Structure 1
Amino acid sequence: MPKLPAPSQMSDHASIPSIAGDGVGESASAHLWKRHLELKRVDNAKNDLVEELLHRYDSLNDVFKQECEDHEREREFNRRCQRKLKELGSLVHRYEGDLDLESYVLVLIDGDGLIFNDSLLLDGTPGGQRAAGLLEQFVYDYVRAEHPEISSAVKITARVYANVKGLSETCRRASITSKTSDLREFVIGFSQGKFLMDFVDVGAGKDRADQKVVEQLKLNLRNRHCRQILLGGSHDNGYTRILGEVVNYEQAVQKITLIEGVPFAREYGALPFRVHKFGDLFRPQKINLYDQGFPTPFPPGLGPFQNRMQSPISTSSIMTVNDNHNMSPSSVASPTAASTGWANVAAKAARLPAPINQTPPMRDTSGIPRNRKGQRIDPPTSNSGIDEVTRVKRMKMCNVHFLRNECPYGKACTHVHDYKPSKAELDTLRLVARSQPCIHGTGCNDAKCIYGHRCPHPKAGKSGGGAAGGKNCHFFDECKFPVEMHNMDLSVVQFQVVR
């Protein structure tokens, strides 16, 4: 047999040697080489596939490892977040508790118009303390009924702003209190009654109380600790301006409640705020110093030229004294002057012509007594003790009904008509009425007038001393009677005859 070449001397593409002498077909060796080459190609393809799979495995393994690391980080992050969430939940719970402890309801009151009821004002310091306690209780009851979401531990704080001196004078002139110190004592009692309640004296000046209330409203409206604001200013339509600015904020509408005292001004009707009334804690009507049925008064000091206004007296003749002590009737200003204002009336009165006709003095003692200056002189009254005066005041008898036998309010009058006072009580009631200065001053020509035309209070000092031309009573400058009603000549030299 011929010798075959070594395998190392052959390439994959070498020709297959043939068997000598075979001229017919392919030799068995060539056939085997062909099959071997085919298997080798298959093995190479298989190896290539395995290598590709290994490369893919390595790549996927790297991706898997990265995903595992990311997952571990996410799991650790979630664990930290859960721990943080628990911590924050504890903080929120604690802060909610702190919010309940620090939350408060604010009551803002314009004390110049929303005024506590008369019985509380008259009682001075104890009345102020009771007013603070009642206000707190009324607010608590309101919050529990209308806002159950507010904690029962909420604090109630109140700010009342008013011109205390002016309000004191008004209350005394309206016979609500007997002296200005009554209201001051009430203010002190209110501030002392509750530590979170203050009655603030803003002094005299236009809109001082209003500005205080508005600024406090703005300051507390967005304060999260302030859960509710109760605004007392129904008498003043000026508050509708600030309320109109916040009406578009739903939170503000839900947070503000209007306190009803005196009837609301017409402008309040279009506002969506809640309204609440605290029983009879506040006066349901404004203080009216001119509720005797008379029109608006003229300033004191016009003397005999005082406008007759709408007095029921049809004709009057005012007797005056000239330098020669001759008595003469002075002309009275025209009733139409009431619409021209105080200054115009005073100017017209100053230009009145001198009287032409002189008449002899009239000594009809049933007329109105006047001194040499034409000032009305009130006859003396009985000296009732302070306890009796206070008792009669608290009876709330209608002065006009019992002392003038008339009352412009009729059945609508809020004072007592169906009581039968004794003579002593009538004398005391007359004294109470005269403790209020007449709105027509010393020139009053109403024969049935029940109010004071001169200061009835004792003079200061044993000798009745006092600064000449000033207020010489023991109230000094705080006296509600004007200066011209002090230091008066009490000698009656003439009588005004009213026909």
Structure 2
Amino acid sequence: MVHIYVSLDKLAQKLTQVGLLKGGYEFRAFAQSFSVNQPLFSIIDVGQGKERADYRIKEMLRTFSDNPTCKHIIFGGCHDQGYLLNLDQYKHDQRKAERITLLETTASARGFAELPNFKKTRFDSVFRYDPLPEHQYNSPVQAQVQAQVLAQAPAPIVSPPPGLPVRQMSKSNAVAPPAPLIENNPAVTASPTVTASKLVAQSTGSSAAADASWATVGKTGAGNGTISIASNNSNKKKKYIYYNEEGHRLDEPLPPRDRNAADAIDKRRDKAGRNFCNNWHLSNGKCNNGDFCNFQHAPKLNAGELNALRYKARSIPCKRVDCENFDCYLGHQCSFERDQGYCPFPDNCKLKETHGMDKTKYVRYDEDGNEEYARPK
């Protein structure tokens, strides 16, 4: 069995940008051929988002390392220190460690050389032994594409309809998004890439104060040279999801809880003898169980009572540390530790596994899939 987890679009964009592919269609064709060539060979597209591939790889390692019918595992994760913790539990168990061979491709991250009892192997005829270049170079594929571009006649210039505004972007204010997120045209020579850690957004006018601490590196915008002039409802509040640098979701603090509202829902719960349906009250009346639900639906709670119910729901841990549900009402970190610096119930806290986690906001996603990185301090 061969399982490869990858963001097809992001890797295809990178390979195209450095001149190893003509376009993303070539990589998708390769992935399809790889997956159909052998019945137990699979390339799994994990989509956009940090840690998605890591999460699945770690689960597969856990599942097969304890499976007695699995004779041997070749683990291709030596490029990432994030897997050391998952392998650490096996390093002193020689029987289990001997069933795992570490596949080295590019230079191994620090710590893998110190792991005892693990075998190591390389397949240099299959995998690259040097990292992908940061900047574009003129490969034979790219040179061929550029030659085709030069041979083409220039496209006619189409004037906009009368009355529509024409906006021109100033080059001095343009910020290049990092390579994996650019909607790249393979027929155009790309500029050197800018990584997220080096990205510094330049803001002008009154909008500078609004998001001064975040640098936008989203999929939409000026990446393809087009600007939308469609009307936009600026009054609608944008939803964001925040993650730390390890890809763990962070919760935003809730408004202060009204004690009277909290007492009111407790009394209603005790009187009915049933808890409230979080799905129905906190998800705009969405409950798949309908009249067969064992929890309370109508009448609706007022704003203060809903906020008090959210506090209760936050005490229940979400099963996904990398949760991507914008409307998830469950907890992803201990609010006591986040707000007070410590948890008064360290042993009984339902979210005690999040104690000590990095609470620094590193990246946020909006509902359109755009991602923004916090500027370095």
Where relative contact order (Cα < 8 A, 6+ residues apart) is larger, the structure is 2
TM-score in terms of structure 2 length: 0.39
Which structure carries more helix by proportion?
1
TM-score by length of 1: 0.30
